[in-house]
Chain A
Amino acid sequence: MLNNQGRPTAAGEATGSAHPTFTGNRALQVEEALLFEIGRADCTGVDLDEPAPFTPRLGGLERKGEIGLVGLSEPETMRHFVRLSQKNYGIDTGLFPLGSCTMKHNPRLNEKMARLPGFSDIHPLQPQSTVQGALELIDQLAHWLMVLTGTSAVAMSPKAGAHGELAGMMAIKAAIDAKGEGAVRKVVLVPESAHGTNPATAALIGFVVKPVPAQDDGTVHVEDVKALLGPDVAAIMLTNPNTCGIFEPQIVEIAKAMHDAGAYFYCDGANFNAIVGKARPGDLGIDAMHINLHKTFSTPHGGGGPGAGPVVLSDRLSRFAPLPFIRKNGGRFALVETADQAGDVQAFGRVTAFHGQMGMYVRALSYMLSHGSDGMKQASEDAVLNANYIRAGLEDLMSLPFPDHPSMHEALFDDSWLKDSGVTTLDFAKAMIDEGYHPMTMYFPLVVHGAMLIEPTESESRASLDLFIMTLRDLALRAKRGETERFSAAPYHAPRRRLDETRAARNPILRWTPPQPIQQAAE
């Protein structure tokens, strides 16, 4: 069957496999049609009784006609989504060395705790007297975050890392406005190696982004920052450890330079997992830093969220926070939800409805309590140890752009070692898929050509690391020997071969539409 774009809608018709099957299936890899190709309009997997007859009060605005949705019975639903799940790679499948993303083990205790009805089945607007335990949990988590970062305040409500960046930069803007400098301080310095969210966040609230050059050793030098400083500079957004996996050695000097110039230091905390229990960002002079609970504190990534991005604030910014926040009065916890309740905090407004990602808070606190101060320090050390172990195992075959600094939690290679091999970073990554690994982060950071950013995390055993190193060494040697076929069309063994992204973007098909009758399609 063809859909209205003339694409095959049934899998198996176009298989190029060496051993084609009637179904297109390959044993445990079962092809699964789209929900809309197998569901029925009249089918439901939920037993509900029709209400007794009554007179609707919809003001004449009832929906007319069909919505177009389809349903499946419960067993069909189960099978549909289980089959889909089997086309995914997760941390539980194997080593997931996605640099900067921190794919560490997600303890199931955390899932169990988050599902306690006392946390999952409470409403954000039920009376505060009925949610004291929830407020206490948020307060506890806030305490852990402040102690670990050496800061004096934390805004809990941001929903993800980039949202935390937004809240933090808003706090900086509010502080600048309070000093009457809002019309002047418009520039935010962002290193070229930064995550894309940094410049996007700054631009979103009207700042002008000015790039800071990266030096040859992969770090930002205080002299380069000073050269850009002036009365127009509001802040710098710096990731530390940076996206090259290096701890910025001059970070204290950079912070001081910013403060001396009357500007602020926003730290992107995406890589905080490398230094938890080893150093406190507050001691380094940062003014604001978001913490990706889904990276550092192991709440599951869930295929792209939900995350949580609380942002810690220094003394210089703690009076400029978003709503809501929690205030402790004796043994009671109270939510400060509106500006008139905020007292001496010059709350700049809300960044989201309600109070933030409670489900993620429970998971993160469960992780923290399990590890404790000693376990978190050990986790950071193991993450750094594992990254450097991989680096040591590969550095004679693959090229390190910044050999002069130890790696923190991730090892960065460039593609100069692939020069003239006919193999690209992308090809190499896709060949890793055939070997049973998720690829590393590719082509990021942008300051390194053909970047390969490998973050093993603390969750890997030595045996797992050894096999990974041996696998990459084998692939590297094959690439150098010119065995390009293994790479250029990889992956061969994944549920799909390489996908045509250009085609997807040129003629976007973003939803299912019913197939047209053949004669109509031919017209």
Chain B
Amino acid sequence: MRYLPLSDADRTAMLARIGVKDIDALFADIPADKLLKAPVDLPRRKGELEVERQLGRLAAKNVPASSVPFFVGAGAYKHHVPATVDHLIQRSEFLTSYTPYQPEIAQGTLQYLFEFQTQVALLTGMEVANASMYDGSTGTGEAVLMAHRITKRRKAVLSGGLHPHYAEVVRTLSHMASDAVVSAPASPLADEDLIALIDGETSCVVVQNPDVFGNIRDLRPIAAAAQAKGALLIAVFTEAVSLGLVESPGAMGADIVVGEGQSIGNALNFGGPYVGLFAAKQKYVRQMPGRLCGETVDAEGQRGFVLTLSTREQHIRRDKATSNICTNSGLCCLAFTIHMTLLGEAGLKRLARINHAHAVKLADALAGVKGVSVLNKAFFNEFTIRVPGKAADVVEKLAAKGVLGGVPYSRLAPEAGHDDLILVASTEVNSDDDRAAFVAALKEVL
């Protein structure tokens, strides 16, 4: 077996050195009737070539985003990732390192986490950010729990523009923890009255911007109304590139900002691994979940970085911890940080403008298709169209014509009753030809 350095002669000599007669003597604490006598019923070992063939056959049954006109978003976005990013994250010292518990030999990880935290804080317009969560949805669940701890209230209000999967994660966690959740109905036109749902029991209002339908929301009135009643505004985003062009949640008054960072540096990966971005006001830092990297000095006075404020965390506080999270998304943070370093302020803003321009062009083109209407007044790189008939059927027919034309909202929330809506995203990867193919295919299937 190519991954196992020991030879049979080594094994024999080592057993003798230990002083046991065979390997099973070391497994003596396993009840004898539970010790497996033969290998389990699974295939035997394979060489690299065979594994590549077998997995290659499975991969070939899927349609990669890059191979077709591709307009699927709804929480994960196809962007171009520079080659440098994937090269660097595969450096052995990054890829095969552990959580930086030994800071003297983990300054590489710690410094990029410090840079990551700074980038996330700047992007979101917040004072502090942590070293990542698993993804945007689990981060949203954690943000609600954090708001409950801060306000000592246990009721969350969820906007009808929140991604249905995110809302479901919050509801599941809240149900299990016996916390209350008020969910506003799906709001494709962003015309819901969230403020009416806030009362003296409300710990937080969770609003996504741009929302799941692509609408850009003004968070300021909601922030003011929430804070007037002693509640917090949790601002959520699923498209990090939007932060290059849209007013930051911090500037609009958010208390906690949480979102999905996949768009920067990370591939689609069929939904994971992704990277949850999590930021807050400084005064709430000791209630934050997850790891935090902080600056300090070493014994010679040189600047260095360590994991800090760990008295919030499970390995110290156990059942009193702010979260149970241990592993986070280290390598995905690194990809985010490298891509963001390459983009810089100028590149990010330009990338965001390109995304918006492409989406505007596509919206106008689709609005010209008979029977199709675009719902959004304001949007970034994603918007919602209404189609005649069932959106799910239209999307399937488009796929049969080789166009991946968006997500039927009914797939995310079948009970909401919006069966004729398709969420459509357009990023820098879409060409004029892609858009023309989409329009032509849509005309054919309607």
Contact = CB atoms under 8 A, between A and B. Distances in A.
Contacts of B407: 125
Interface in B103-162: 103-109, 111-112, 114-115, 117-119, 121-123, 127-129, 131-132, 134-138, 145
Q: Determine which residue in B97, B136, B351, B376 has the highest number of CB atoms from chain A within 10 A of its CB, and name it.
A: B97
B377 A69 contact: no
Contact of B138 (A72, A92, A105, A351): A351
Given A204-B323, A499-B104, 8 more contacts: A58-B380, A84-B111, A90-B93, A122-B268, A124-B76, A349-B171, A406-B26, A505-B308
Given A279-B35, A357-B272, A348 B172 contact: yes
A197 B321 CA distance: 9
A117 B156 CA distance: 39
A462 B115 CA distance: 40
A88 B93 contact: yes
B302 A123 contact: no
A304 B128 contact: no
A304 B291 contact: yes
B6 interface: yes
Interface in A61-100: 61-64, 66-72, 74, 77-78, 80-82, 84-93, 96, 98
Q: How large is the interface on A (under 10, 10 to 19, 20 to 34, 35 or more residues)?
A: 35 or more
B23 A384 contact: yes
Interface in A439-479: 439, 444, 458-462, 464
A196 B104 contact: no
A510 B344 CA distance: 20
22 contacts: A48-B350, A63-B245, A78-B88, A85-B92, A119-B58, A122-B63, A126-B65, A130-B63, A195-B314, A205-B173, A305-B330, A340-B414, A353-B165, A356-B272, A374-B39, A406-B27, A433-B102, A489-B299, A497-B302, A498-B298, A500-B298, A510-B292
B74 to A, nearest CB: 5
Nearest to A174: B176
B344 A43 contact: yes
A317 interface: no
Given A199-B318, A365-B55, A98 B98 contact: yes
B230 interface: no
B296 A352 contact: no
Contacts of B26: 384-385, 388, 406-408
A461 B5 contact: yes
A496 B61 contact: no
B30 A279 contact: yes
Contacts of B341: 35, 39, 45, 70-72, 77, 80-81
Nearest to B407: A125
Interface in B52-68: 52, 54-67
A131 B270 CA distance: 9
B345 A510 contact: no
Interface residues of B, number: 211
B175 interface: yes
A118 B68 CA distance: 12
Contact of A118 (B36, B61, B137): B61
A338 B413 CA distance: 8
Given A129-B399, A279-B35, A371 B345 contact: no
B142 to A, nearest CB: 10
B347 A44 contact: yes
Interface stretch (A106-114, A225-233, A259-267, A415-423): A106-114
Interface in A281-333: 283-284, 294, 300-308, 322-323
Nearest to A69: B345
A355 interface: yes
Q: Determine which residue in A147, A162, A340 has the highest number of CB atoms from chain B within 10 A of its CB, and name it.
A: A162
Contact of B114 (A201, A496, A511): A511
Contacts of B34: 252, 279-280, 283-284
B297 interface: yes
A340 B300 contact: no
7 smallest A-B Cβ distances: which pairs?
A71-B344, A59-B378, A118-B59, A133-B61, A354-B271, A349-B172, A302-B331
Contacts of A77: 84, 88, 338, 341-342
A160 B296 contact: no
A279 B267 contact: no
B295 A201 contact: no
Given A84-B112, A130-B399, A304-B330, A200 B314 contact: yes
Contacts of B122: 67-69
Nearest to B30: A279
Interface string A18-62: 000000000000001011100111111110111110111111111
